[in-house]
Each structure stands twice: as C-alpha cells, then as structure tokens.
A and B are shown apart, each in its own frame.
Chain A
Amino acid sequence: MRLSPTLRLTVLFGLAGFALGLPKDGGEDRGNDDHSSGHGGGGDHGDGHGGGHGDHHGDGGQGGGHGGRCPHFGNGTFEIHQWQLYPDTAVFDFDSCIMYIRYINKTCLGRLAADGTQRAVQRQRDQV
C-alpha cells in the first residue's frame, strides 16, 4: 500500500526556511511493494544472529560501531501492516539486522483525552 500523495516532508534550514522538500506527488514514496529490494543480494536475511550476513560485514563503511554488519536498507519509506500495532519507538539490532518495536494501544487514547492535550489539539486545528 502506498502512502497518501498528500504526504510530504520538507527540510527547513534554520530561520531562512531553505526548503529541500520531497515532491508532493509521492515521487519519494517508494512504498514497500517489493520488500526484498533492499537486500542488495544479501541472501536470506534469516532470524539468527549474524546468519546470512557474513558477506556484508564491514561493507557499510559509514562509521558507527555496528552500522556495517547489516546490508543497506534501500526500501525507503515503508509501512508495517499489522492491525492495532501503533508503533512508538524502535531500535535496530545491528547484529541480527532486525528491529524491536514498542507499540502502544489503549493507553494513548487516554493520553489524548487529557484536557491539556485536547486544548492544544483544538488550538492547532484552529490555526490550520
């Protein structure tokens, strides 16, 4: 599934507001129709620690103590399709090349119900 074409990200450079924006027509929205596109011929990704990644060790060359163990992730913007996931925080394991994603569920509804938040939301909406 592709993201809404209305999505756009714009870089504001300091006070000057220098824009380096992505196209509004979704041109940067590569989606995840082909999830294997980022493997770069890395073979089976697997679930084990380091399994299948030996060929990639050190090929990152980008700095970072662990950054070179996993293949380049070339999928661009992607979506996770899982009912009721609501991801909030994620960490990447540079050894096994998988992520741990903490998700929220009912508690965030309560958070939004906080009076102060509701007022803030309304104020923001009024400004739009």
Chain B
Amino acid sequence: MIKFDPYKNKTLDQITLPGITDVYDEHGSGLHLDQDTGILSIVIDAQPAFLTGGANVSGDYWLVKYDTHARRELWRANLTSVTKAKYGGYQDVAIDPRGYSYVVGTYPANILRVSPRGDAITAWYPPQTTNTTIHGYTGIASVGDTLLVIDGNGVPEELSEGDSQLYRFDTTKPRGQPVLIPRTPAGIKLGNSDTIHLPEQYNGTVMLAALNYIGVTVLRSRDGWHTAEQLGTITSDFPAFFQRIIPSTTQIGPDSHFMIGQKFPGSIVPGTKGGNQSDFPFFDITSQINALLA
C-alpha cells in the first residue's frame, strides 16, 4: 500500500505488513479509512479461493488495523480462526458506529463481525450453504447503523453479464439479516459488481457500484436505502481489454470522483513480483455522475 498525494502526484510513503506483504498467497483486498480516527482497515485475502472460483477456500484471511497517524499496525485478526477454512473469499470491510468491523466473504455469501479491539470474531451472517463455489457478496459499505452489501448472485465476478442484488443489514441486531433493496426502474439489471462506494460528498445517499468489464453504475436512495434508484452507468472503454475491469472508485477532495481502471501485470518481470507497467490512470467521472444526479 502506498501513501499518495494526488495534488502533487507524488508517492509519499509505502506501507508494508510484515508476514503478509511478501507472502505469495496473501493478497491485500478491501480497504476502509475511518475519517475520525485515521485508522485503516485492511482485508487480507488468501489467493486460492479467487483462483478456483471458491472451490479451494484454504489459506489465512486477516483483518488488519493500521493507525495512519502513529504509522504503525494496531492489530490483526485471523478470520480463518472462525471459518476453519470451510468458507472464505473475504474482500471488503465496513465499520459501524460502535467500531465493529464487518468483513464480507464471497465463497459463499457471508459476513464476519470483528470487535473493535479485534479480540472477538463472530459469523454474524454465516453461509447459507456449504457450496463454496456460489459467488456471493463482493462489496460492502455502511451509513449509520445500516450496512449495504452487493451480492454477485451466483454469477462469477469476472463475467460482465451479471445480475447483482443489493441488500441492507441492521448492525444493531445480534445477527445479520439481509433485506433485499428494490431498485427502480424495474427490469434493469445491475451488472456484476466488485465493490460499492458511498462517496462522502453525498452523505450516504449515492452509491457507486464498480462493475467488472462495464464501468460504474450510479444509484441513489432517498429513503435510507429501503429502495434505490438505478440512475445509469458510466462505461469504461479502455484500449486494452483487461483494463476495462473496474475494481473500485474513489473521491478526491470535496467533489471529485474517479474510476480506477485495473491493469494486470501480464508477464512478471524476472526477479520481481509484478509486471512491467508504470502508468496507471484514475479516470475523472465527476461530470458524468453530476449529470446522472441532476
């Protein structure tokens, strides 16, 4: 992970996690920053599940907390200590007002809840099936006591012809109970999503869903996400096919929004752990979002 100044286009620092950064099967995944405390929540996933479509869910999954002010890791919780490697695919995290962390797993859909100090992990919404190859939750966000989750709905995330669904959870409940969020207009599918993001600018009323091979779908809710308006999709048309994969979006400053186009390394440079590319675009989609919200 790097610390980056977008205004100067300058990398300021690199953050590594001992025992994770250089371990082949460990992979940084979901990322969340608590704006009040400066604490980063980082999900570390194990690679096998994503290589096998959930057939192999072995390996260690972690939730790591890092204090950006003190510049040190606070703690890490081994999620596999609860799952016993019977399910997995953890790749995103959200935080509730009481400091509990909610980590979504994809193979199959499930949510783990981690206590504020990382000393208690519970299967808050356990898997509803033992079939780990059913592609489930991929992204999570929170607004107040409400968790919002996107479900791949059984379609592998690398496909574009998805039919994702949005669910709402109440974090004040001792156990997770998904409630389907109806979307309007009826009949428009929500493509296969990777992450969902509620940009700060809109106070939790606007969601950007990053869709693999498609782009970013903009949704809005006027009733606390009991229902959602699916406003439209900002498509990506990268020159290279692999780069059309849109893993996430981010806000910079008070009112600018960006779509991160994912590049894949292709051939690994001998003696290193990555490909040979050096230019990585962040696409400004602010005007398109504003047009859809107008």
Contact = CB atoms under 8 A, between A and B. Distances in A.
B235 interface: yes
Interface string B26-70: 011111110100101010000100111100000000000000110
Contact of A116 (B4, B40, B158, B200): B158
B37 to A, nearest CB: 10
A64 B201 contact: yes
Contacts, number: 303
Interface in B248-294: 248, 250-256, 258-260, 262-266, 268-269, 272-285, 288, 291-292
A81 B8 contact: no
Nearest to B32: A91
* Number of chain A interface residues as a range: 35 or more
Interface residues of B, number: 96
Contact of A97 (B9, B241, B253): B253
Interface string A94-106: 1111111111111
B264 to A, nearest CB: 5
A44 B8 CA distance: 10
B185 interface: yes
Given A71-B7, A89-B30, A99 B254 contact: no
B235 A38 contact: no
Given A20-B288, A94-B200, A85 B256 contact: no
B130 interface: no
Given A6-B237, A60-B254, 13 more contacts: A7-B281, A9-B285, A12-B234, A80-B280, A80-B282, A84-B269, A84-B277, A89-B247, A92-B200, A95-B35, A98-B3, A109-B266, A113-B51
